[in-house]
Amino acid sequence: MLAHFAPSSTIVMVMLVVCLIMVLAFEASNGFHDSSNAVATVIYTNSLEPVPAVIWSGLMNLVGVLVGGISVAFALVTILPPDVLTPPDGSPAVPMLVSIFSSALLWNVLTWFFAIPNSSSHCVIGSLIGVAVSDALLKSRDLAKGVDWHQIVTVIKALLVSPVLGFVIAGGLYWILRVVVRRGHLLEPPPEGKRPVWWLRALLITTCTTVSVSHGTNDGQKSIGLIMLTVIGLLPATYALNPDSADKIRQLSDNGSQAIPLIAQYGDDVKAQALHSALSLQRAAPDLQREAHSLDAHQPAQKDERALRSQLRGYVYDVISEMKYVSQQKNVPQAQRKQASDLLKTMGTPVEYAPWWVRVLSAICLGAGTMVGYRRVVRTLGERLGRQHMTPGQGASAELVGSVLIGTAGLTGLPVSTTHIITSGIAGTMAASGQGVQGPTLFRIVLTWVITLPVTIALAGGLFYLLA
């Protein structure tokens, strides 16, 4: 439906603006869920007032986003096939954007309304998988090859293992804390309306800070790639190619030449399209040189560069997809797999980037969402998860372990869920305390975790099928 409109038509531009609003709203809903985990302990224990806590957490999220890079952002985006990311005719990927944002935002807000600490990561990943599966069905492709299951399995493994680690390690840390400390402020629920002693406040603010920074290195990136896809649709002449990678853009013609034999010999069922793209890059040497010179000189983009840069971006993603496929095949000789892997890294630089203002915008939306909607999730984590109210020691243990796990995953490019890790960590400390957890609340949380992927897959896949 939407795919039949001209790239620069009014309806496409309006839909792209709507998409930008939706992705920013989703990032704010991410704040409802994920960022609330970072401030839950300091707010619940009265260590900080809500407004200072949220502002501080937002600033630390921004630090995390800037430090952590964008590897997680594009680890998710590349779940999508290249013709969905950048359609061959250079048109904006409006059907994909509408499907992902609508599905993820709906499920995020719905679970927040019922005060269930759900994972924004699962919402995005489920929506991405739904679009990828639907696209394969629309093109009558074999699902085994039409969907990047290798990337999906890698992502899901990280999502499944991290909460278990959070539960076990945080529970073990709190058990050690109880053995060493035995009694005192750390092990007692906070008095109603009173502030903890100064050293305990300092500890809780520190763990809040570490979780916020690590959250920025991971969850803060998850919408950046999607924001970039929307911005590129609106302003392709300015953002379709990385303005800071002119040298890499000049190399794209040679990269295409090197990729041609690898695609021809080892490509998958859409290698014909990738071969066309690689040959187009090979022949586009003059255009690539001109574009690189224009970017180097910071010259304003010309009107006719809109379609050209979008098409170049599409060619690059077609070739990248095949290089990724070749690098993962065990039957391909090691030398060729390494060559494909090297080309994958080199060719990704001109198209996988995010300007500083996109990162700042992402962090602002996270902070705004946390400020508006933190109360529901904070109360669930503090009062409804365990059979007794959360103690400062439990919150500090869960946050300390969570910040290490989330930060490590962010720096290695693996997407994990802050919600799952922190919630599992708190549940682990509740179990270690001997008081246990509240069965009905835990059941609702786990049930939501289990059904989030299939629900968002179905929502996004069905909507994309209708729109595309």
Do 59 and 150 sit in the same domain of this protein?
yes
Give the pLDDT confidence score for residue 413 in this predicted structure: 67
Is residue 382 included in any domain, yes or no? yes
Would you say 97 and 230 are in contact if contact means Cβ atoms under 8 Å apart? yes
Is residue 179 included in any domain, yes or no? yes
Q: Which residues contact 190 (CB under 8 A, 6 or more apart)?
A: 44, 45, 46, 196, 389, 391, 392
Do 336 and 403 sit in the same domain of this protein?
no
Q: Which residues contact 92 (CB under 8 A, 6 or more apart)?
A: 7, 12, 16, 232, 233, 234, 236
Q: Which of 287, 317, 348 is the last residue of a domain?
A: 348
Each of the 468 residues of the chain gets a pLDDT tens digit; together they read: 555 555 566 777 788 888 888 888 888 877 766 666 777 778 777 788 877 887 888 788 778 777 777 777 777 777 888 877 777 666 667 888 889 889 988 888 887 777 666 677 788 888 989 998 998 888 888 777 777 787 788 777 877 788 888 889 988 888 888 787 766 666 676 666 677 777 878 888 888 888 888 877 777 677 787 788 788 877 777 888 888 898 999 999 999 999 999 999 998 888 899 999 999 999 999 988 988 888 877 776 666 666 788 888 889 989 998 999 899 888 999 999 999 999 999 998 998 888 888 888 887 887 777 666 666 665 665 555 555 667 777 878 888 888 888 878 766 667 777 777 877 888 888 888 776 666 676 677 777 778 888 899 999 999 999 887
Give the pLDDT confidence score for residue 389 in this predicted structure: 67
Q: Which of 293, 318, 348 is the last residue of a domain?
A: 348
Give the pLDDT confidence score for residue 340 in this predicted structure: 93
Token pair in block for residue 253: 């013609």
Do 71 and 189 sit in the same domain of this protein?
yes
Do 344 and 364 sit in the same domain of this protein?
no
Do 201 and 252 sit in the same domain of this protein?
no
Nearest CA to 90 out of 234, 351, 347, 306 is that of: 306
CA neighbours closer than 13 Å in the CB half-sphere of residue 87 = 19
How far apart are the C-alpha atoms of 386 and 436, rounded to whole Å?
6
Give the pLDDT confidence score for residue 40 in this predicted structure: 74
Do 373 and 328 sit in the same domain of this protein?
no
Give the pLDDT confidence score for residue 300 in this predicted structure: 67
Do 163 and 85 sit in the same domain of this protein?
yes
At 279, give phi and psi (nearest 5°): -65, -35
Is residue 150 included in any domain, yes or no? yes
Do 100 and 222 sit in the same domain of this protein?
yes
Give the pLDDT confidence score for residue 239 in this predicted structure: 84
At 437, give phi and psi (nearest 5°): -115, 160
Do 63 and 123 sit in the same domain of this protein?
yes
Is residue 428 included in any domain, yes or no? yes
Do 337 and 210 sit in the same domain of this protein?
no
Q: Which of 328, 348, 368 is the last residue of a domain?
A: 348
Is residue 137 included in any domain, yes or no? yes
Is residue 41 included in any domain, yes or no? yes
Give the pLDDT confidence score for residue 316 in this predicted structure: 92
Report how many domains make up the chain.
2
Is residue 236 included in any domain, yes or no? no
Structural domain that includes position 314: 241-348
Is residue 54 included in any domain, yes or no? yes
Give the pLDDT confidence score for residue 89 in this predicted structure: 62
Do 65 and 182 sit in the same domain of this protein?
yes
Give the pLDDT confidence score for residue 376 in this predicted structure: 60
Do 161 and 87 sit in the same domain of this protein?
yes
